[in-house]
Amino acid sequence: MPDSSRFAHRTLGTTNAGTANIGTMGVAPRPVLRHLLAPAALTLAALAGVAHRPWLTDHIAPFAGRMTAEGVVAVLAATAWLGAAWAGSRVIDVVMARSVRAVPIPRLLTDLLRAFLYGLAVLGILAFVLGQPVTGLLATSGVLIAVLGFALRNMIADIFSGIALNIEHPYRIGDWIELAPGLTGRVDEINWRATRLITLEGTALVVPNGLAAGSRIVNFSQPGTGFRATLTVTLDPEVPVARAKRILLSAIVCCDSIPAEPRPDVVVESVTLNGVTYQARFWVPDYAHLASGRDAVASAILEHLTRAGLEPARPKQELRRPRPAQPLQASEELGQALLSKVDLFAAFREDEVVELAAGMHVRHVPAGEAVVRQDELGTSLFLVAEGALDVRGAFGGRTILLDHMGPGDVFGEMSLLTGQPRSASVIANTDAVVYELDKEALDPVLRRRPELAARLADLMGLRQRRNDAHRRASTPATATPAATDHDLLARLRAFFKL
């Protein structure tokens, strides 16, 4: 019986020169004609011999006898039946090769069709060539069929389950499916008896079709390629729900590997003695990216919680009265902690950092609102405490997404130190909390220690060169020449009148 997979591969194969696929311009390519030519020629030649039976008999009988002549004619008739079945199987291969470009066809289906054709050919030979009563033959073989069916009942059940699976199509070749806990993989083959899966670990998993048909089938690849995944996080009940959702959502948004659309979200799953359990829900392109997506989201959530001064809830051993939250004290401590990690203020003493932190004020920015807009004047710097923000720039009449920012990121240093207009707009992707440090808070420190101006100019120049390199890598058309450290120092001194 011809091998359909090898035939499909040969007929669909293309060369580097771009060999046309089957059906191009309505003309079948030469490989298809070549594979149909042999069975067609054999069938026609055998039919021609059978049609000239009297002539063959008259010419063979004088030399080999009449019985031999009749045998030759019978062989030609059987060859015609088998040749027709062979040609029909090749036609099936051509049809499957045409459709395999859109949807892979299980091998079981083509095998069943070919078996049906050859079965008809055998019955035709028995009935019309050998003159045997087919109905009687089928009746007398009933006992044998019953014995074989009982002995091979499990295998027969798998075969008929495979037929049902191919009719209903709960999964196709290439789909990621889960048949039971621990039975998850990509469908590589559906044959007569079993479904072959390839797991994420690269191992083959052979599942009998009877088990697959009787299991709850979860198809991760239908109706579309992407699907939504979840990650649960439990936080202390003292954390306000709105703040918890803001922190968790911003962590997901800041993951570059997670698609922005459909938009991720965070919902409350349950409230227990250990705390409030949240579901971080996001989309992954396919099951193969599920583990890496969860890893990226979990890592980002832990980082954002740490920057916000929080941690996942721990199991409670005893009940205790909840302590009221102290948002003002926590806000001051968080602002000082964020400011102390900014490399721009690395040369400042601890007491000076505390003084600057005391001069900052908190801004709550709803999603979609602009913190700063491009080309507007400003004299302040911003530190992101919670949430995710998008950096967008207008260039050549179109707006470009330049970067994402999350907790710990800083923007607006050029406006704070030189009064330069904002170079880009910063829009809140989620609800966000930012700390604003204005020129009036920095001015007294610089007047007491003018030598800090040179250090600020050096660090500001370093940050500007790093930011410009990042923007050139992502959007080369937006790159602008960076100012020298000497120019920055002169502008800083003039702005603060030092």
Domain assignment present for 351: yes
CATH assignment at residue 395: 2.60.120.10
Region of poorest pLDDT, from 113-127, 129-143, 343-357, 402-416: 129-143
Looking at the structure, do residues 483 and 355 belong to the same domain, yes or no? yes
Q: Give me the pLDDT at residue 280, please.
A: 95
CA 383 to each of CA 328, 387, 388, 434: distance values in angstroms, whole numbers, following the listed order: 17, 11, 12, 5
Question: What is the mean pLDDT of the segment spanning 395-413?
Answer: 85
CATH assignment at residue 191: 2.30.30.60
CA 134 to each of CA 85, 127, 130, 138: distance values in angstroms, whole numbers, following the listed order: 19, 6, 10, 6
User: Do 107 and 5 contact (CB within 8 A), yes or no?
Assistant: yes
Looking at the structure, do residues 410 and 272 belong to the same domain, yes or no? no
- Residue 100, pLDDT above cutoff 80: no
Q: What is the DSSP letter of 82?
A: H
Tell me the per-residue pLDDT of 353-377, one tens digit each, with 9 for 90 and over. Answer: 888 888 888 999 999 999 999 989 9
Region of poorest pLDDT, from 112-116, 222-226, 302-306: 112-116
Domain ranges, residue 410: 330-496
Looking at the structure, do residues 238 and 387 belong to the same domain, yes or no? no
Domain boundary among 219, 243, 277: 219
Looking at the structure, do residues 358 and 460 belong to the same domain, yes or no? yes
CATH assignment at residue 251: 3.30.70.100
Domain boundary among 219, 241, 259: 219
User: Do 384 and 406 contact (CB within 8 A), yes or no?
Assistant: yes
- pTM value > 0.85: no
Looking at the structure, do residues 259 and 390 belong to the same domain, yes or no? no
Tell me the per-residue pLDDT of 16-40, one tens digit each, with 9 for 90 and over. Answer: 333 333 333 344 455 666 777 888 8
Q: At 157, which amino acid appears?
A: A
Looking at the structure, do residues 186 and 126 belong to the same domain, yes or no? no
The per-residue b/e assignment along 115-130, b for 16 or more CB within 10 angstroms, e otherwise, is eebbeebeebbbeebe
Half-sphere exposure of 152 (CA within 13 A, CB side): 12
Q: Give me the pLDDT at residue 350, please.
A: 87
Looking at the structure, do residues 388 and 484 belong to the same domain, yes or no? yes
Between CA 283 and CA 458 the distance in angstroms is: 43
Looking at the structure, do residues 379 and 281 belong to the same domain, yes or no? no
Domain assignment present for 346: yes
Domain assignment present for 147: no
Domain count of the fold of the chain = 4
Mean pLDDT of the chain: 78
Looking at the structure, do residues 387 and 486 belong to the same domain, yes or no? yes
Domain assignment present for 317: no
CB-based contacts of 353: which residues, under 8 Å, 6+ apart?
A: 336, 339, 340, 345
Tell me the per-residue pLDDT of 65-89, one tens digit each, with 9 for 90 and over. Answer: 778 877 787 888 888 888 888 888 8
Looking at the structure, do residues 276 and 393 belong to the same domain, yes or no? no
The DSSP annotation for 91-144 comes to: HHHHHHHHHTTTSPPPHHHHHHHHHHHHHHHHHHIIIIIS---HHHHHHHTHHH
User: Do 205 and 179 contact (CB within 8 A), yes or no?
Assistant: no
Looking at the structure, do residues 198 and 235 belong to the same domain, yes or no? no
User: Do 127 and 152 contact (CB within 8 A), yes or no?
Assistant: no
Domain boundary among 140, 155, 187: 140
User: Do 261 and 246 contact (CB within 8 A), yes or no?
Assistant: no
Domain assignment present for 105: yes
Looking at the structure, do residues 235 and 348 belong to the same domain, yes or no? no
Residues forming beta bridges with residue 45, ordered by sequence position: none
Between CA 441 and CA 197 the distance in angstroms is: 64
Between CA 175 and CA 220 the distance in angstroms is: 7
Q: Give me the pLDDT at residue 474, please.
A: 56
Between CA 411 and CA 371 the distance in angstroms is: 10
Tell me the per-residue pLDDT of 177-191, one tens digit each, with 9 for 90 and over. Answer: 988 777 889 999 887
Between CA 296 and CA 269 the distance in angstroms is: 21
Q: Give me the pLDDT at residue 90, please.
A: 82
Domain assignment present for 320: no
Domain assignment present for 374: yes
Domain assignment present for 163: no
